[in-house]
Each structure stands twice: as C-alpha cells, then as structure tokens.
Amino acid sequence: MDPSNFLRAYDFSGKTIAITGGGGVLCGELARGLAGCHANVAVLDRDVGLAGKTHATLGGTKGRHKAVYIDVLDRASIEKAASEVVSEYGKIDGLINGAGGNNPKATTNPQQSFFDIPADALQFVSNLNLQGTMLPSQVFGRIMAKQKEGIILNVSSMNAFRPLTRIPAYSAAKAAVSNFTQWLAVHLAQEYSPNIRVNAIAPGFFLTEQNRFLLTDKDTGGLTARGNKIIEHTPMARFGGPEDLVGATLWLLSPASQFVTGVVVPIDGGFSAFSGV
C-alpha cells in the first residue's frame, strides 16, 4: 500500500454515514467525530429535536449534513429515511446502529424483583436494542448489497460479554446484538460482497441519562455503590467520555480496518480485561 493511503484512510470526504440514535449523547459525539473527518453525516433519530441539536453542532465542518426522522422499530419509517439519505447523497457508505438503551421499568430494584418485571418492559428493551439493530440493517444492508460495498457498525455493550446485575433484558439484548454482528458479517461477505463489513463497538461505562439513575445518587450527586464498584473494576479508574468512542468508530468505518469484520471492540478502560485480582 502507498504509505500516504494510511493517512488518507481517515479522510471521509465524499463518504456518507447514517447514524441512528444520532441525537443521543454517545452517537452525537460519533457524528461530530465523523463530520470532523469530512464525512457527510445523516443524523437519524426518532426525536427530531435531538437530531436537530446534533446537526447544529456539525456546522463548520466540510461535509453536507442532514437530520432525518427515523423510528428504528418501524420498517416504513426506516425505508423512508434510507431513501431520503440515498436521494440526497447518491449512496450510503456506512450505517451506525446507535439507537438503543435500557429502561428503568426493565431493571430490578428493591421494589421490583426479576419475577415482577412486566412483560411489556422486557419486550420494549429487547425490541429497541435487537430489532432496532436488525431492521435498519435489513433496509440499509439491502442498499449496500446492491452497491456491493458498505459498512455497518453496531453498538453493543460491556454486558454482552458478561451480564451485569439488575438489567436482564438489556444484557440479553446486547449479547444478541454482538451475536447478530458476527452472523451478519459472515452472511453479507459470503452472499453479497467481501466489501461489506459488519462490526460493533462495546462501550464500557459512560455516565449518560440512561444510566445516571443507576450510577449516581440523585440527592447527593455522588456515586452509588454500583458506580463506585465500576470505577474500582476499571483499571483506568474513570468512566468513559463520549469522545473515547470516536477513534475506534473511525477505524471501523474506514479502510484502515478493511480486513476486519465480525468483531466487537470493547472500549472500556480495561474493565473487561480485569479479573478483579
């Protein structure tokens, strides 16, 4: 390879990346990282206000950006968002399946045992994380299959490797996202093109609105026992910041990872490597 190609690998000029959940804390930062590397970024979210907020932070970067409504659980809305992206940019180079998360109603606590978690809460979390990854992968994956190239990046989680206490549906759903990442990587490479890749990032612990209630005490603002345990078990001794996810994302969406497919990359300050002793 021409040595300068390695540097150019991170120049996303002319590349279009769509990000579901792009209005959120973590994926908003991924949008900014990609825009900073000159990508065209389509910020897809069910909350158009949040998508617009992320979009507004991309101004001044080189690519053309767009905020688009999507509900990752509604195929018609995914089809509509995908066709808006393709008609604007002509093609799609990458999809980040970022929409996802836990829900307090699907979490065990002193008032709610595992045995009492309502079925609709379990279903909500399972669907959002697993179906919400599979359905956009079907719609955007079909476009990539026709193009004979493209990259899908899923967002898994630490609890996919070993489940975390209290969040059974979220843990199981993210384990399924990791499994699906491997399945789809094999399927698209074998059946359609070796130039379609599918990988995932597995963020460790990032203090965001979805887990603030588990990690910090709402009265004192200090860490809960669970929050403290996480820090003790993280060799780097801190929570991640959204910007910590950007480097691996750029790598997995760029030609620098051209022979990498079907992997789940932990971004966790060493949490998953530490035995505790």
Ligand X SMILES: NC(=O)c1ccc[n+]([C@@H]2O[C@H](COP(=O)([O-])OP(=O)(O)OC[C@H]3O[C@@H](n4cnc5c(N)ncnc54)[C@H](O)[C@@H]3O)[C@@H](O)[C@H]2O)c1
Could you confirm whether 10 is annotated as catalytic? no
Q: Does 266 bind ligand X (CB under 6 A)?
A: no
Which residue among 10, 69, 170, 192 is the active-site one?
170
Least Å distance, CB 2 to ligand X, is: 36
Shorter beta-carbon distance to ligand X: residue 9 or 242: 242
Piece of 16-24, 35-43, 216-224, 255-263 that binds ligand X (CB under 6 A) = 16-24
Least Å distance, CB 57 to ligand X, is: 14
- Subset of 187-206 contacting ligand X (CB under 6 A): 203, 205-206
Q: Does 61 bind ligand X (CB under 6 A)?
A: no
Least Å distance, CB 185 to ligand X, is: 18
Q: For ligand X, which residue has the nearest CB?
A: 24
Query: End-to-end alpha-carbon separation of the chain, Å?
Result: 43
- Kindly tell me which residue out of 16, 199, 211, 254 binds ligand X, with binding defined by CB under 6 A: 211
Strand partners, 152: 95, 198
Q: Does 244 bind ligand X (CB under 6 A)?
A: no
Contacts of 87 (CB under 8 A, 6+ apart): none
Least Å distance, CB 246 to ligand X, is: 13
Q: For every residue of the chain, which 3-state class applies, written as one string? A: CCHHHHHHCCCCCCCEEEEECCCCHHHHHHHHHHHHCCCEEEEEECCHHHHHHHHHCCCCCCCCCEEEECCCCCHHHHHHHHHHHHHHHCCCCEEEECCCCCCHHHCCECCECHHHCCHHHHHHHHHHHHHHHHHHHHHHHHHHHHHCCEEEEEECCHHHCCCCCCCHHHHHHHHHHHHHHHHHHHHHHHHCCCCEEEEEEEECCECCCCCHHHHECCCCCCECHHHHHHHHCCCCCCCECHHHHHHHHHHHHCHHHCCCCCCEEEECCCHHHCCCC
- Subset of 66-125 contacting ligand X (CB under 6 A): 70-73, 98-101
Q: Does 271 bind ligand X (CB under 6 A)?
A: no
Tell me the C-alpha distance between 96 and 267, whole Å: 16
Least Å distance, CB 157 to ligand X, is: 4
Q: Does 208 bind ligand X (CB under 6 A)?
A: yes
Q: Does 140 bind ligand X (CB under 6 A)?
A: no
- Kindly tell me which residue out of 17, 27, 67, 152 binds ligand X, with binding defined by CB under 6 A: 27
- Kindly tell me which residue out of 41, 50, 85, 125 binds ligand X, with binding defined by CB under 6 A: 50
Q: Does 230 bind ligand X (CB under 6 A)?
A: no
Active site residues: 170
Interface contacts to ligand X, rule CB under 6 A: 20-21, 23-27, 45-47, 50, 70-73, 98-101, 128, 132, 155, 157, 203, 205-206, 208-211
